[in-house]
Amino acid sequence: MPRMSISSTYQRMIGVNNAVHWDKLVWNRLSIPKHIMICWLAMHQRMRTSDLLVKLGVLEENKCMLCADGMESHNHLFFQCSYSSKCLELVKVWLHLSSAQDLLQRQWYFLQKSRRTGLQKKFIAAIFSGLIYSIWWARNEAAWNKFFGGLRLCSNE
């Protein structure tokens, strides 16, 4: 009879998990806790976007609340939507970044692989977390309060 142990039973219960490259950047001390949680949910694609709310029967139509051009999903909301891509471009200009990626996971991957110091990476990661939180906040304002202030929500213009 094979020996049973708690650790082997636990490993069987949770299954095989792929290693992620963004965990140390998301969970850093420079980020605000509510930004960290929203960013973590976004990285795991657990946000309640319109496509999921339609499946749950909460909403009837699946359209982006920010640009009204496409169907809202995680990939669209973070950073294929015209609003969120403009916000990302403003942040990239401010930080002097040149990455041309338009997917959230790829942004974190290229930040992790960049030739920057650990503090610089954490600083940029904190700003990205704030950006993700701000986009999610703007989306919720547009969806539930029927208010959308355009790009002034993510810039000083």
Give the pLDDT score at 123.
94
Within-domain flag for 17:
no
Count structural domains, the chain.
1
Is residue 6 in some structural domain?
no
List of the chain residues with pLDDT < 50: 153, 157
Per the structure, the complete domain to which residue 71 belongs is given by: 29-153
Looking at residue 142, its pLDDT comes to 87
Q: What is the pLDDT of residue 155?
A: 54
The reply to whether 115 falls in a domain is yes
Phi, psi of 64 (to 5 degrees): -65, 130
Specify if 87 maps to a domain: yes
pLDDT at residue 31 in the model: 93
Is residue 18 one of the residues assigned to a domain? no
In a domain, 69, yes or no: yes
Q: What is the pLDDT of residue 157?
A: 47
User: Is the distance from CB of 33 to CB of 106 less than 8 angstroms?
Assistant: no
Task: Look at the alpha carbons of 87, 108, 33, 59 in this order and tell me if their dihedral is positive or negative.
Answer: positive
- Any domain includes 24: no
Residue 8, in any domain of the structure = no
The pLDDT of residue 38 is 95
Query: Exposed/middle/buried for 21, CB within 10 Å: 0-12, 13-18, 19+?
Result: middle
